[in-house]
């Protein structure tokens, strides 16, 4: 079966990996709490760890609102500015992305995104617009909008539906995580390509290390990997 679609993870794949200071992240997020401060930051850090643990172990999705609820805090969405500013340097699209997506589409393949995220869709779309690649994405699934996270097969099936492909064997998934992305994609029946430059925190590693069909050192290597599968 020829490759019909290539679906990408977002953070650490379409963006270069950057190590996150989670204490600083929680402090920025706490500024959106009605009762902010050090205690709010500590509660949100613990709540975030709990939410992502459920994602890892049970593949249950969450939202920013769910993190605040877990922490027992009230969210004021209008005050999320500092949190978004904290993440801004980590959202830059890799320089290889635009020419790669243009080539894939020129060769008749559909392009998708599947991201484990607590952010709303609009935040991701604003990043793609900012970096000039929004028009090159045929469909995207953000787990904040569905019940599951990677590596659940349902998450990958949702991504396939978003790009209009029904046969997982005709899909390539590209990601930086051997559990969420590679194990998940293979378990869903997709071809899996690993981009191995992310230093995944120990608490986010899953129970299984997936075996990729191929490994690339940069995104621009992908067309040569796909060529024999077409």
pLDDT, tens only, 19-51: 889 999 999 999 999 987 899 999 999 999 999
pLDDT digits (tens, 9 = 90+) for 182-201: 999 999 999 999 999 988 88
pLDDT digits (tens, 9 = 90+) for 62-114: 999 999 999 999 999 999 999 999 999 999 999 999 999 999 999 999 999 99
Burial of 42: CB neighbours in 10 Å, binned 0-12, 13-18, 19+: middle
From residue 161, alpha-carbon distances to 48, 138, 165 in Å are 29, 11, 6
Q: Is the separation of the CB atoms in 136 and 152 below 8 Å?
A: no
Measured CA to CA, the distance from residue 29 to residue 106 in angstroms comes to 41
**Class of domain 5-16+92-229 as given by CATH:** alpha beta
User: Is the pLDDT higher at 202 or at 131?
Assistant: 131
Please give the span between the terminal C-alpha atoms of the chain, in angstroms, as a whole number.
Answer: 8
Laid out side by side, the sheet with 214-215 consists of 139-142, 110-115, 5-8, 171-175, 191-194, 214-215
Structure tokens at 23: 């204490």
Domain ranges, ordered by start, for the chain: 5-16+92-229, 22-88
């Amino acid at each position: 079966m020829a490759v019909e679609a290539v679906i990408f993870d977002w953070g650490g794949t379409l963006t270069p990996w950057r190590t996150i200071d989670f204490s600083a992240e929680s402090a920025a997020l706490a500024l959106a709490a009605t009762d902010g401060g050090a205690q709010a930051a500590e509660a949100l850090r613990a709540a975030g760890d709990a939410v992502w643990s459920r994602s890892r172990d049970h593949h249950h999705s969450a939202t920013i609102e769910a993190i605040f609820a877990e922490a027992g805090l009230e969210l004021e969405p209008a005050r999320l500015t500092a949190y978004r500013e904290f993440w801004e340097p980590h959202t830059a699209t890799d320089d290889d992305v635009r020419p790669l997506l243009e080539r894939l589409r020129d060769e008749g393949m559909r392009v998708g995104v599947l991201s484990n995220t607590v952010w709303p869709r609009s935040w991701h779309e604003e990043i793609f617009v900012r970096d000039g690649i929004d028009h090159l994405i045929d469909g995207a699934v953000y787990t904040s909008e569905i019940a599951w996270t990677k590596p659940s097969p349902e998450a990958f099936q949702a991504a396939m539906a978003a790009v209009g492909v029904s046969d997982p064997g005709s899909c390539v998934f590209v990601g930086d995580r051997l559990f969420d992305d590679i194990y998940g994609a293979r378990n869903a029946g997709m071809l899996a390509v690993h981009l191995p430059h992310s230093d995944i925190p120990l608490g986010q590693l899953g129970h299984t290390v997936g075996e990729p069909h191929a490994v690339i050192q940069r995104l621009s290597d992908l067309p040569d990997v796909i060529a024999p599968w077409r």
